[in-house]
Structure 1
């Protein structure tokens, strides 16, 4: 699950938990004949009793709730990055009918390692997108010279070894350490 989905789900669950707790406390207080704690439910009840389906506030609240629900459904159905990448079969190595996959993080680590093996690279991090591999390289040298070309070549070579050269395009960003 995508990190943002996890965070949104946790926040939504926390809101539901707190709302349920508040509702239980308010019901208990009303049952005991005590004044409300946070929610002025007698006033709200009186106001809601005077509303009709044609009231502007009711229609606005329903529209906002419908849009919020639609947004949550769209976020839930949105496809995240697959954890495994299908690698093309290698003639002579892969039996017929066998699908070979590679872990996305493993491929990212492999591409980062290929970039780090290039001279003048201090560190490298790669993120695989839909059709591109974006590598951010950190160097301590002021003049990058052919560094971008060298890193792109190293990553392209590694993509070709994995059989992903035709489907994934390398993109390299150079950052200078201390700048």
Structure 2
């Protein structure tokens, strides 16, 4: 979502700068008695003065603008996924965090470090860690779960994570 926000801000910013430059140029040209350059402001003025606020076309335009504004507002107010996991045991006024990616990599390394596990994939949620392992047999699940739990406890997240380990077949 951050990329969408940045691209949208870039496009809207460039559009606003371009519109500001065109309007400024038109105003300067009009002050010097020159004809209009790009904007057909005479037709625009005639259209705007001939339509009331209650006309369907005006309501449609403002309804679409309000809808787009609401969508943008909801996009900004929607909670984003945290990039960091807070750790316990920090002193007052000091926040200690670990990046989510680093925690996923540590869990992955703990799973792959167990004998019989060839690969692992980790999905990290707010309160749980789902781990899929490619293993020779399903008997490694308790050992892998214990090893991952030990690694997570050593890192020490503020909220404990529930660990779920599943084996998948090697395809």
TM-score with structure 1 length normalisation?
0.64
Give the direction of change, closer, same or farther, for the CA distance of 1:144–1:14 in structure 2 (3 Å limit): farther
Structure 2 unmatched runs, 5+: none
Give the direction of change, closer, same or farther, for the CA distance of 1:144–1:4 in structure 2 (3 Å limit): farther
Kept after mapping to 2: 8 A contact 1:148/1:173:
no
Equivalent residue pairs, number: 166
Deviates more, 1:41-50 or 1:98-107: 98-107
1:117 aligned onto 2:109: no
Deviations 1:2-26 (A, max 9, x none): 3333333233323334444454566
The one of 128, 147, 171 aligned to 1:132: 128
| Equivalence for 1:64 | 64
**Structure richer in helix, relative to its length:** 2
| Equivalence for 1:87 | 87
SS in 2 for 1:113: helix
Kept after mapping to 1: 8 A contact 2:145/2:164:
yes
SS in 2 for 1:14: helix
| Equivalence for 2:98 | 103
SS in 2 for 1:121: strand
| Equivalence for 1:55 | 55
Separation (CA, whole Å) in 2 of partners of 1:125 and 1:12: 39
Separation (CA, whole Å) in 1 of partners of 2:43 and 2:83: 52
Deviations 1:62-114 (A, max 9, x none): 1221222222222223332334322233xxxx66x475622223322222322
Kept after mapping to 2: 8 A contact 1:108/1:126:
yes
Separation (CA, whole Å) in 2 of partners of 1:145 and 1:25: 74
Kept after mapping to 1: 8 A contact 2:86/2:157:
no
Separation (CA, whole Å) in 2 of partners of 1:173 and 1:64: 48
Give the direction of change, closer, same or farther, for the CA distance of 1:11–1:35 in structure 2 (3 Å limit): closer
Give the direction of change, closer, same or farther, for the CA distance of 1:73–1:50 in structure 2 (3 Å limit): same
- Cα root mean square deviation, aligned: 3.8
Deviations 1:115-152 (A, max 9, x none): 33244434x55453322334566x5xxx7532883654
Separation (CA, whole Å) in 2 of partners of 1:147 and 1:24: 74
